[in-house]
Amino acid sequence: MNKKDLGLLVLILVVGIGVFLRNPRFLSAENLANTANLIGLFGIFSIAQGFVIITGGIELSVGSMIALLGVLFVDMVGRLGVPWPLALMIIIVLGLLLGLAHGLLITKLKMQPFVVTLCGLLIYRGLARGYTADATAGFPFGSEYPGLDFFVARPFGVPTSVFVLAIVGIVTWVVLHRSVFGRYLFAVGKNEEAARYSGIRTERVVAAAYIISGGLAGLSAIYLAMYTRSISPASHGNFYELYGIAAAVLGGCSLRGGEGSILGIVLGAILLQILQNLVNLLGIPSSLNFAVMGGVILIGVVADQQLTRLRERRSRR
């Protein structure tokens, strides 16, 4: 655990204690389970966002992608009768393909990540709304799908999303911090041109980051579809991309690329959920959640810039 992660952990504990002192219900079993479930749900696509940000890119279409893939999953299982394990695999493969499309547009056509993913945000949202004719997609009343309740189960009182986040976190931690590919990601984010001259196939590395992001977005789409049980394509997943960016920035990912850690991203997701829980427990209007996220991103970027300047001054001495 580096200094950034340790500082974030201390901040989480301080904020958590502060919330508990204002409202003891914060540590109730039900509230902790609900908060843990949301941490699991949002933490998965926050890690996806982190991979892209480390390369110096950005992924603005996560929320719309989750809406589109969620609608398709619910429709395949609920209306078309596709066995849910097959539907799950199809959705994750579709997420990987969407990520591949983003990666190819950015690396082969040299388009800016902001433009590519902004277009994706609009296209996927429009497709989701068009597919359902702007109607809410949901499972038929009284329908049962053996095994599908895994996504909403709470063994030993702990939501399965937490276990899945832990597995995803461990796998991606190994990929990012203990593999050659991970070193390539950081190198590309630090200086793509220098990485290319050193023999790294930068286009493949960047494309792989978007593919990983798309696959994790597909997994998140399934979990969030089961969490809500019905999907309004016009609003489902709105601003989730901002949540992922905020969690990544809080976790130490620099928007310039080349920095970040999986543990930091998970801690960032935890802190954001605690802050949102604080808003709910104190009776503050939920609309202020967006103000909280915006403030968090702003503070994270300012802090990152100041730390970078401080390191540069020290290196000159």
Cβ neighbours around 279 below 10 Å, total: 18
Tell me if 257 sits within 8 A of 190, measured CB to CB.
yes
Geometric angle at alpha carbon 154, from 149 and 159, rounded to 5°: 100
Dihedral angle over CA of 159, 161, 165, 171, nearest 10: 110
pLDDT (0 to 100) of residue 317: 67
pLDDT (0 to 100) of residue 58: 94
Query: Which residues of the chain, if any, have pLDDT below 50?
Result: none
Give the global pTM: 0.90
Q: CB-side exposure of 143: number of CA atoms within 13 Å? A: 15
pLDDT (0 to 100) of residue 121: 96
Tell me if 49 sits within 8 A of 59, measured CB to CB.
yes
Angle between helical axes of 62-78 and 113-131 (0-180°, round to 10): 30
Structure tokens belonging to residue 201? 């196939």
Q: CB-side exposure of 56: number of CA atoms within 13 Å? A: 20
pLDDT (0 to 100) of residue 15: 83
Report the C-alpha gap between 12 and 46 in whole angstroms. Answer: 17
pLDDT (0 to 100) of residue 33: 92
Task: State the greatest distance between any 2 C-alpha atoms of the chain, in Å, as a whole number.
Answer: 70
Report the C-alpha gap between 160 and 57 in whole angstroms. Answer: 30
